[in-house]
Amino acid sequence: MPEAIEITPNQPGKALLARYPHQIKSLNRPPNVNFYSVDWPRNALGTVQIKTGEHVITIHDVLGISGSDDPNFASEEIVEWHLYAGLGSEEEIAHDVARQRFLSLLQAIRNAGWQRYQGRGHPRLKGSAALRYALNSRVYALDPDYPLSLQEWMSMPDDSLWRFHLENAYLTLTLTRDARRKDVSKKGAYFIKLSLVDANEEARRIVGPERRADWQAALPEELKLLKQDREHTEQLLKQQGVAIDESYQDPKLR
């Protein structure tokens, strides 16, 4: 069995290749971006450990991983990782089994020290209120501590999101399922995607691609606008009787 591969934020590409010389494939593409990847066959899925400081999450049944650097921020090494996996080795799985396995994954992420992260322009909602809001906002991240019922699980929008932060790292978990196999009495097909970045890359995503090069100058104004967006939306929701989680505080961007 191939050894588990460990990925971290800002991982040095050369060290990665030296550690896993027979598994990691590397490719350089214009404009001088280095890509690092592994693809596992369906009959021998991989295991990946996501490590942040002393905190580790182990992901099984991994189909593939891909990471890349950015020549404009070369000192940051690999600036983003993407991991693709199933909710088991089966190609099809009962919907309630998928739900239980996914909830266990969320709990494992939380147990590893990751905290919930909410978009800085989004309202601070918990539990079922977050789910109801996400039904009309595809980019809203759900509450990882909310135990979805089977009915709620089946009603979730495709590509539902859960987001986390830990130290200077940010993790996004996306759940995808085959839209053609959503009959609860039959089996479905599920896939997950995990995206890992550090705080600098998260900040660059906040300001957007047009301001990526000068993200540090652009960030304060963008955060101010996002704060205004959140306050406006939360005020409207309060008027509708929706509870706001005012205890939630945005993590600092270094």
Residue 164: per-residue pLDDT: 99
Residue 1: per-residue pLDDT: 58
Residue 186: per-residue pLDDT: 96
Q: What is the pLDDT of residues 94-140, one digit of tens each?
A: 999 999 999 999 999 999 999 999 999 999 999 999 999 999 998 99
| Cis bond before residue 31 (omega within 30° of 0) | yes
User: Where do the H-state alpha helices sit in 27-186?
Assistant: 95-111, 127-134, 150-155
What six digits make up the tokens of 225? 């606008």
Residue 2: per-residue pLDDT: 66
**Weakly modelled stretches of the chain, pLDDT under 70:** 1-2, 254
* Burial class of residue 176 in the structure, from the number of CB atoms within 10 Å of its CB (0-12 exposed, 13-18 middle, 19+ buried): middle
* 86 vs 64: CA distance, rounded Å: 10
Q: Which residues of 105-125 are buried (b: 16+ CB within 10 A; e: fewer)?
A: bbeebeebebebbbbbbbbbb
3-state helix, strand, coil in the chain (%, to 5): 30, 30, 35
* 59 vs 249: CA distance, rounded Å: 28
Residue 254: per-residue pLDDT: 65
Residue 253: per-residue pLDDT: 87
Residue 158: per-residue pLDDT: 86
Q: What is the pLDDT of residues 134-166, one digit of tens each?
A: 999 989 999 999 999 999 999 998 899 999 999
Q: How many CB atoms lie within 10 A of CB 232?
A: 12
Residue 63: per-residue pLDDT: 97
Return all residues near 156 (Cβ < 8 A) that are at least 6 apart: 131, 134, 142, 148, 175
On whether the pTM is more than 0.85, the answer is yes
What six digits make up the tokens of 179? 């839209």
Of 252, 225, 10, the closest CA to residue 117 belongs to 252
